[in-house]
Amino acid sequence: MKSKGLSLLLLVFGSLLNIEQCSSEKILVLSFISTKSHKLTYMPLVEELGKRGHDVTVLSPILSPKPMKNVRDIMTIDGVNLMDKFIKEQNFDLFKMKEENKQMNPFLMFGWFEGVCRDTYDLPQVQAILNESFDLILMQPMFNDCALGLVYRLKAPLVLFSPVSIANFLAEKVGVYFPPSFIPNVMLGLPAEMNFFQRFQNFGMEVMIRATLYFLYEPKVEEIYREKLGNDIPSASEILGNASLILSNGHFSLHSPKPLMPDIVDVGGLHSAPAEPLPKDLEDFIKKGKDGFILFSMGSAIKGDMMPDAKRKMILNVFSKLKQQVLWKWESETMPDLPKNVKLSKWLPQQDLLGHKDIKMFITHCGGGSTEESIYHGVPLVGLPMMADQPTNADNAKKNGYLVELSWNDLTEEDFMGAIQEILNNPKYRDNVKKLSALFSDRPTDPLELGVYWVEYVLRHNGAPHLRSVGRKLNIFQYHSVDVIAAYVAIVSVALYVIFAVLRLICRKLCGSSKSKSSSNGVAIGKKQN
């Protein structure tokens, strides 16, 4: 009887557990501003969550190329068109900027974000989201702080997905500090082992970024979301600091290790996947040559058709002399005097090409996603870094011995040909990247599994507040113990002063008495000196 009751109990309990496991939760994936390549980094996670039965809504400026199970795709302001318009309006020529050694003006970007943010909040599909309720929000934080007003209104646990390895200023929001003495800012292209001047520079950069965020960027986004959704919404820092978890698209095999807490999980490689068979036209083109093929792409943000014509012709000339077939990502399918071994395409299945057995090398701008995919698939690189984190990525790859770096500004035909021949003829580049690939892949859990696990973990434990360190609650002075150090310095100073004063007193007494003993003359002199 007893055992029957027990098994019944177990059955009921088991089915309850089961229900909990299968229950589908409503997840909102949120981004107001995004590039295609940033969105690509987390879409496999979204797809997998949908496959596991969660009800996923993606609100973003870029539509997914294919429909996914249980995933509802809602488009905000057409991000691709917007980017193109911005580039045209601002005469934003990255090749020219690179040649003139100019950096992107952050204030120009802020102004632009502001307009996009206001317009996005006004969209009926975004307003309608406010009337729904969600169990979890997954947000891409880069340039998206403006959407935090919506996050706050929806009152659901927040998981952040950083499309690049987590930046210092984001980690800081959740109480994690990356010491600038050994974690270089990605924008500076510095090594992890820095000399005094490099540490000086790195520290200054970190302070400048904080100041820009604190005095310019955050007040602006707060103004916008309060204007659209109400004045009671807390600061951007507070909402970010309330995040349950940050998934960071990094891994310690790719950059030097960072001090992470349990609420920051490295899922680098989450979007890398084994190659699928190629479309027939590409496979046919590759098979036409007997010496394999080379892939050339400058990424999705750098428009190839803005490339100065002289450089384009020079590159084409080098390609025409190669025995290999060349696939070039270019914004149109035609080009005058295109050699037979070169094929242009607006869109290329990059991962399937990188994982193809006949690939010889990848000529790349060294964007984060491209560099990571090349490691995953073990393909050596010729690097033409342009801006942002690309020089740092190129530098890392060079140090790991699988990249020949070229300078875009000084690119000559000889250099370009030389780099390609070096990779083709020297097996060390491929060997090195294969070794790194083994390090990158050797993990207890597949990064996609890991990402899904942690998102579901936050769902299961209602925001998982136990993951948070108390560091989140401290202000900058408390965090770095500045107040305590100041107190100690004060106590020690007072103590030293007292000891010194007492010693002086004792000494004076002793000296005085000894002197008065020895001669009365001495006392007289001593008094004079006083």
Residues forming the site for ligand NAG (CB under 6 A): 127-128, 131, 152, 155, 157, 234, 238-239, 242, 463
3-state class percentages of the chain: helix first, strand second, coil last, to nearest 5: 55, 10, 35
Report residue 475: phi and psi, to 5°: -85, 175
Q: Which of 63, 69, 75 is nearest to 24 (CA)?
A: 69
Round to whole Å and give the CA distance between 30 and 510. Answer: 78
Contact, 436 vs 375, CB < 8 A?
Answer: yes
CA dist list (Å): 194 to 14, 141, 182, 185, 257: 56, 29, 7, 12, 15
* Closer residue to ligand NAG in complex, CB, 63/154: 154
Residue 295's DSSP bridge partners are 327, 362
The dihedral of CA 358, 361, 365, 369: what is its sign?
A: positive
Least separation, in Å, of the C-beta of 473 and ligand NAG? 12
Minimal distance, residue 234 CB to ligand NAG, in Å: 5
- Which element (helix H / strand E) includes 171? helix 168-173
Choice between 234 and 401, CB closer to ligand NAG: 234
Q: How far is the CB of 29 from ligand NAG (least distance, A)?
A: 17
Give the angle 178-147-475 at the CA atoms, nearest 5°. Answer: 35
Residue whose CB is less far from ligand NAG, 246 or 282:
246
Which residue, 270 or 464, is less far from ligand NAG as judged by CB?
A: 464
Residue nearer to ligand NAG on the CB measure, 236 or 264: 236
Beta carbon of residue 152, minimum distance to ligand NAG (angstroms, whole number) = 5
Q: Identify which of residues 74 and 417 has a Cβ nearer to ligand NAG in the complex.
A: 74
Give the nearer residue to ligand NAG in terms of CB position, either 150 or 450: 150
Q: 423 or 464, CB closer to ligand NAG?
A: 464
Compare residues 85 and 461 and give the one whose CB is closer to ligand NAG: 461
CB of 242 to ligand NAG, least distance (A): 4
Question: Order of strands, edge to edge, in the sheet holding 403-405?
Answer: 342-345, 325-329, 293-297, 359-364, 381-383, 403-405
Instruction: Return the beta strands (E) in 179-332 as ranges.
Output: 245-248, 264-266, 293-297, 325-329
Report the nearest approach of ligand NAG to the CB of residue 126 (Å).
9
Minimum CB separation from ligand NAG for residue 131, in Å? 4
Beta sheet of 26-30, edge-to-edge order: 71-75, 55-60, 26-30, 136-139, 158-162, 245-248, 264-266
**AA letter at 461:** H
Give the integer Cα–Cα distance in Å for 157 and 459: 8
What span, in angstroms and rounded, lies between the C-alpha atoms of 149 and 388? 28
C-beta atoms surrounding 385 within 10 Å: 25
* Shortest Å distance, C-beta 127 to ligand NAG: 4
DSSP state of 405: E
Pick the closer one to ligand NAG by CB: 122 or 227.
Answer: 122
Of 3 and 131, the one with the shorter C-beta distance to ligand NAG is: 131
Q: Do residues 387 and 94 lie in contact, with contact meaning Cβ atoms separated by under 8 Å?
A: yes
Which one-letter DSSP state was computed for residue 240?
A: H
Report the nearest approach of ligand NAG to the CB of residue 128 (Å).
4
DSSP state of 362: E
> How near is the Cβ of 136 to ligand NAG at its closest, in Å?
9
Nearer to ligand NAG, 314 or 474 (CB): 474
**CB-based contacts of 386, cutoff 8 Å, min separation 6:** 94, 95, 98, 298, 302, 365, 408
Cβ at position 135, least distance to ligand NAG in Å: 10
What are the φ/ψ torsions at residue 324 (nearest 5 degrees)?
A: -80, 155
CB of residue 124 to ligand NAG, shortest distance in Å? 6
